[in-house]
Each structure stands twice: as C-alpha cells, then as structure tokens.
Amino acid sequence: MTNQIKYILCIAVLASTFTFAQERTKDTLDSEVVNIVKPYTPTISDAFKIKETPTLDDETTTTKKEIKYNIFSIPVASTFTPAKGKAATVNKAKQEKLYDNYASLGVGNYTTVLGEVYLNHELGRGETVGGYLSHHSSGKGIDGILLDDDFMDINLKAHYTKQERDYSWTVDGGGLFKNYNWYGLPPGYFDAAAADTLNVGHSFVGANIGGKIKFEDSYFKQASVRFRHFGDNQGSSENRFIVKGNVDVPIQDEIISTKVTLDYLGGSFDRNYYTTDELNYGNINFGIAPQYQLTQDDLTLNLGVNLVYLNDTEASKNKFYIYPNITASYRLVDELLIAYGGIEGGLIQNSYEDFVQENPFVSPTLFIAPTDQQYNVHAGIKGKLSNSMSYNVNARYFADRNKALFRSNPVFGEATEDYQLGNSYDVVYDDVKTFAFSGELNVDVNRNFKLGTKGEFFAYNTKDESEPWNLPDFKGSLFMDYQIDEHWFAGAGLFYVGERKGQFSVVGELIDSVPVTVALDSYFDANAHVGYRITDQISAFAKVNNIANQDYQRWFNYKVQGIQFLVGATYQFDF
C-alpha cells in the first residue's frame, strides 16, 4: 500500500511541473524560425505487457491442495464377448410406380356399362399429347315407369401441349353425345297403351375446340379462346365463342391485374312450348375487371370492379353493368384461424348446354337469357385445427336478377310433341335473394385414411314465383377413403338433399287447372366401393350405389334407379 502512495505522489509532481513549464514557455517564446536538422524518431522505453495471469501482491495467498484420484476395482469373472458393431438399416417402403395412362371398365345391373380411358404421352422435351374418353350407359328397369328410362352419356377430349422457354401453349378439343328420355309422365293421366305410342327419346350432340397460352415473365399473363357448338335431335342449335385474357397493367410503381372477357352466344329452337313459332336468342358480353392487390403483414386486400357491356342481338338492346369485386383475408392466428370475406357480382351467361348438363329433361323450347347477379356478400373463417384437420365456415347473401329456375311444364291438352305431356321442364326467370350458410370439415388421419363432411343451409326470397322451384333448403355430404393395406382399398359417400318445391298444372282449350304446388321429399343416397390391387398395373373393384334402395325423385315425377351394383377392373400402363 505504501508503494502505491509513492507512485501517486510522483505522478502528481511530474504533471504539475509539465503544466508549469508549458505556461512559462508560452509566455516567453519568441517568434523565431526553427530549422530542423534531424527528423524526430520516437522510441519506446520501459515497455511492459500485462500478464494474462497477474501476480497477486496481497499479503495472503491461497495454495490449492493437490488432489489424487484412485479407481477402486474388484476383479470379477465374465463370459461376455462383445460383438462387432454393425450399422443399423431402415426398411424402406417400395416406391410405387406411377403410370401415365389407364383404362377402366365396369358392368352392373340395369345393364349398366361404365368405362374410362385416359391417355397422356410425352413426345419430347416439354411436348405432350393426350386424351380422355368416358362412357356411361344404363338400360331401363325403374319400377312403376311406363316409358323407357335408359340413358347414355359419352364424352371425348384431346389435347396437345408445348412448353417453351418463356411460355407454354395448349390446343384441345372434344365432343359429347347424350341420350335421355322424358319418362316422367304424371301418374294417373296415361296408361300403358297410350305410353306405347310415345317416342320420348331426346339426344344431344356437342363439339368444342380451343387453346390457351400462358407467359412466365411478362405483363401479359395468359389468354384463352374457345368455340362450342351444341344441338339436339329436335332441331335446336347453339353456338358460343369465348375469349379471355389476363394482363398486368403497371401504373407508376403499382400493378393492376386486369381480366378481359368476350362472350358471344347465339342459338335457336324450332318452336316454343305452345306454338310452332321459332325461338331465337343471342347476346354479346364484353367485360373488363381491373383489380389491385394490397398485401401488408397478415392482411391481403383485393380492390376491384367488374364492368360488363351487354348487347342483346335479338332484342336490339344494350345495357351497361357495374359490379363490385372486393375480397379480403386476414390471418388472425397463422394457419389456425383465417378470416375472409368480400362483395362480388357479375353477369352469368346462361346457355342451352349448361341447362342440359344440370337437368337433361328440359324441353327444346327454352327462353335463354343471362342472370344479373347484382351482389354476392360473403364472410367466413377457415384454418387448421391440427396438421391433419382443416375447417371452413362461411355465410353468403346474394341477389340474382333473372335467376333461372327449373319448373315442370304443364300437361298440354292439344299436345303434338311427346314432351308436352307434363314430362319435361321449362326455365323461368325471377329475382331471387338467397341466404346460405355452410360448414366443411376435412380430416386426414394419415396417408391412408381421409374423411370429409360438408353441410349447406339455404333460405330463398322470390319476387314473382310462388316458390324457388327445385332448389333445396339443405344439402349435405360425407365421404371417406381408406387404404386398408398394400392391396385393399375402400371408400364410401353419403349425400343428403332437403325438400324442394315443384309444380303441376294442366292447360288447354278443353282442360285447364290451377297450378298446384307439390313438395318433393328429401332424400339421401349412400354409396360405397371396395377394390383390390392385383398387381402394380391391374386392380379390381366393386361399387354399390343407392344402398338404401330408395325410389326418390331428383326431379318431379322422375324416379331414380334402385340399388345398383357394379364390378370392374382398371389397367394402368405406359407407352
């Protein structure tokens, strides 16, 4: 401690001396020229480094005690002989080979034939060609039906795709053939003798050709064109031409995604339901829908508008429509809870082909007009409850002006056509507001088992029609797929449709009746299938539909087939 005090006093004296010398030099120094003879070369003297482990200068130091370790062991006899180490192996499942093509054929009761062929072949690098053919037919056999109830449905598609460096393009086309019967005669109005004189067959033919091009790094994203022709054996004919394009329009530093649509529809029917006057229809829709997307953190907001110009070529009328096109989604809790909603609208182009796809029992005497969906407000939540379970719940409220409804044609007293006996459907239009609520749950228990269910509730408000004809108040579905083991697989589906409203009436000079509203009972349809994989390429299957053997009516006076069995096989292959 004494040494440290000495050092401090010495340093203080030197510092004061140096300060005093500077002050005196500043006061007495004359302004003279100083010539430097030799440059100053600094040197280091008395330098020292601080040791990493300093020496303690304390009066008391601590000395560590030396520690000695000994192993206390007792010798024992042992017969254990260690085996040589061996690397562990993992049993890998055999990788399943995927084939590009398949053919399937099944036969069942009601003389049912179900067949599919899918082909896809790579011609070269980025160049493929393929096609698809499906056939579904069944003979008559529904109990209590006086007329033939057989049907046939054939669809054909083909495509060619070319992948270039910056874009890809596809050319495709197809055709269809359908044959159905107006077998839904009102009970009590006709007997077997009268039914034998009727020819209620109604066949449809269609063809389409088109193409699509898609660009990678370009403001012009994609474009498509499609021409469709559709007709039937009653002299009906319809042509439709659709052009669509997506382009990104840069404005300053922002991108406006824009969709452009041109939709032409024109067709004719040989007559209307009551007279022999020809029915013609046609319109051209031109639409443009710009939209701006704003993304910030967990919020995604799409702001846009849908502008549509309609030219009714038959009525020589023009009209301009403006629809909202706003959607949003927000991640409340990552993937667990996502809120979404929006308000949208649009002009729906109805066509004869679309009506036949939904209801093949329509008469060839329809008035075709577009539906003006003024708005569709929707909101909901979706997400994942776990890695294997997802859900989706939403509510919708939309207003359709000129919504197409399927209503039964009346029994015409002066009938000259076989579809004028109350056994066909017409399309009527009304302003309908609909509230819908739906919930969906999907569960992937593992790679081999999947389960899903969905339910939808509907409430309607019509303006002119007394009922929302043939629209259900509830729809539900349940499906399951299970890969039992390497060879066996199975699945099931249950569909439920709630009550609907139909109408029955008789019109004519001698007979006329007030239209009567009838209720179509709700129904469910249970289906199941099982299959066995014989080899990697061949598998056999069996299906059963309408397990409960219900003779429910999908449409008024149109019963369905009872329980249906089908067995068949599928073959997968490569060229």
Q: What is the DSSP string of 314-346?
A: TTTEEEEEEEEEEEEEEEEETTTEEEEEEEEEE
> Would you say 236 and 204 are in contact if contact means Cβ atoms under 8 Å apart?
no
Which pLDDT score, from 0 to 100, does residue 326 have?
A: 97
- Gap between the Cα atoms of 379 and 552, Å rounded: 34
Q: Is 25 within a domain? A: no
The band of 451, judged by pLDDT with boundaries at 50, 70 and 90, is: very high
Bridge partners of 456, per DSSP, are 438, 475
Which pLDDT score, from 0 to 100, does residue 518 have?
A: 94
Q: What's 99's DSSP letter?
A: -
Mean pLDDT for the chain? 85
pLDDT higher than threshold 80 for residue 93? no
Question: What whole-number percentage of the chain has pLDDT above 90?
Answer: 68
Which pLDDT score, from 0 to 100, does residue 23 have?
A: 38
**Which pTM does this prediction carry?**
0.81
Give the domain extent around 352.
161-169+190-532+549-561
Q: Is 387 within a domain? A: yes
Mean pLDDT of the 274-291 span = 95
Q: What is the pLDDT of residues 196-213, one digit of tens each?
A: 889 999 999 999 999 999
Bridge partners of 267, per DSSP, are 238, 281
Tell me which of 38 and 164 has the higher pLDDT: 164
Sign for the pseudo-dihedral over CA of 394, 348, 374, 302: positive
Mean pLDDT of the 271-285 span = 94
Q: Is 301 within a domain? A: yes
- Gap between the Cα atoms of 184 and 417, Å rounded: 15
pLDDT higher than threshold 70 for residue 551? yes
Residue 71, SS3 per DSSP: coil
- Gap between the Cα atoms of 410 and 237, Å rounded: 24
- Structurally, how many domains does the chain consist of? 1
Tell me which of 9 and 135 has the higher pLDDT: 135
Q: Is 44 within a domain? A: no
Hey, how many other C-beta atoms are within 10 angstroms of the C-beta on 407?
A: 20
Which pLDDT score, from 0 to 100, does residue 572 have?
A: 95
Q: Is 135 within a domain? A: no
Which pLDDT score, from 0 to 100, does residue 24 have?
A: 40
Q: How far is CA 430 from CA 226, 319, 401, 481, 517, in A?
A: 30, 19, 7, 41, 17
pLDDT higher than threshold 70 for residue 554? yes
Mean pLDDT of the 90-108 span = 80
Q: Is 368 within a domain? A: yes
Q: In this structure, what CATH number is given to the domain that contains residue 309?
A: 2.40.170.20
Q: Is 421 within a domain? A: yes
Mean pLDDT of the 442-467 span = 93
Q: Is 336 within a domain? A: yes
Q: How far is CA 300 from CA 22, 203, 227, 332, 333, in A?
A: 73, 48, 36, 12, 14
